[in-house]
Amino acid sequence: MTTTIAVNPWIKYPHPNPQARLRLFCLPYAGAGASIFNAWPNNLPPDVEVCPIQLPGRESRLKEAPFTQILLLAQTLVSVLRPHLNIPFAFFGHSMGSLLSFEVTRQLRRQNAPIPVHLFVASRRAPQVLASTPPMHLLPEPAFIEKVRLVNGTSEAILQNPKWMQLFLPILRADLELCETYTYTPEAPLNCPISAFGGYQDGVVSQDEIAAWSVQTCSSFTLRMFSGNHFFLHSARVPLLQAISQDLIPFL
């Protein structure tokens, strides 16, 4: 039995679970907030407490400035998370969240702090793989919006709404800057298992780029692909969570 620590602005608990035996911290893709994980507790084992991370600059933290440097954000997250690592935990990150969860894990290791029992990454090329396309975050607005449209992650209703775009674009630009200015520094592989997920119809990242995560662990590595595009975590949510549940069973 454990007791959930009092929440703070960084960590959301859609379904608080004081009896949890494991916490799953979920880190969103660029432009997204913690709410994308609200339905996840319904499809995970009852012993898992889903803890979405709410980054500054969106949803309940809309008035705060978003981070634009991933290492600074990772260091900040480590200090936020440390009091919540009193039971076994895992990280799930989607796209930007994958890269962030990886760097948070490495920062925890540098501090000799607990590291996740399992790292789940999705829709993101491995950190050591260089980008194959030019950066987006400095594009002029018309070209930037067109690139966003092509990724299929933002509804046309939002893209056509000037008021919503005025709020959304700065967040997305900051998140993309965070990813596109990242420089990988080689370190020893992690000693936790890594499961990597991708969408067969993803036009942003290839299966080979996702498979390259295998070199980042000296433990087990699993690659699973699902039907869907870069944002398959929505269209294939149930089978994705079944896969995550399967990988968490040994730790429950």
Question: pLDDT digit of tens for each residue in the chain (252 aa)?
Answer: 444 445 589 999 999 998 999 999 999 999 999 999 999 999 999 999 999 999 999 999 999 999 999 999 999 999 999 999 999 999 999 999 999 999 999 999 999 999 999 999 999 999 999 987 777 787 777 677 777 776 665 656 666 666 666 777 888 889 999 999 999 999 999 999 999 999 999 988 999 999 999 999 999 999 999 999 999 999 999 999 999 999 999 999
pLDDT in tens, 229-249: 999 999 999 999 999 999 999
H-helix segments, the chain: 70-81, 96-110, 141-151, 156-159, 162-180, 207-211, 232-235, 237-248
Domains of the chain plus CATH, in order, are 22-128+183-251 (3.40.50.1820)
Residue whose C-alpha is closest to residue 26's, from 63, 55, 5: 55
Can you give the pLDDT at residue 139? Answer: 78
Residues 108, 90 contacting (CB under 8 angstroms): no
Name the catalytic one among 60, 79, 95, 245. Answer: 95
Q: Is 95 a catalytic residue?
A: yes
Can you give the pLDDT at residue 2? Answer: 45
C-alpha dihedral, 242 to 243 to 245 to 250, nearest 10°? 150
pLDDT in tens, 52-104: 999 999 999 999 999 999 999 999 999 999 999 999 999 999 999 999 999 99
Helix 162-180 to helix 96-110 angle, to the nearest 10 degrees?
40
Can you give the pLDDT at residue 170? Answer: 86
C-alpha torsion sign, points 50, 10, 27, 216: negative
Q: Model pTM?
A: 0.92
Query: Any bridge partners for residue 163, and if so which?
Result: none
Can you give the pLDDT at residue 152? Answer: 61
Radius of gyration of the chain (CA): 17
Residues 79, 69 contacting (CB under 8 angstroms): no
Residues 93, 51 contacting (CB under 8 angstroms): no
Can you give the pLDDT at residue 162? Answer: 67
Query: Any bridge partners for residue 11, and if so which?
Result: 53
Helix 96-110 to helix 70-81 angle, to the nearest 10 degrees?
60
Phi, psi of 240 (to 5 degrees): -65, -45
- In angstroms, the CA 99 to CA 77 distance is 13
Can you give the pLDDT at residue 154? Answer: 63
Residue whose C-alpha is closest to residue 107's, from 82, 140, 137, 142: 82
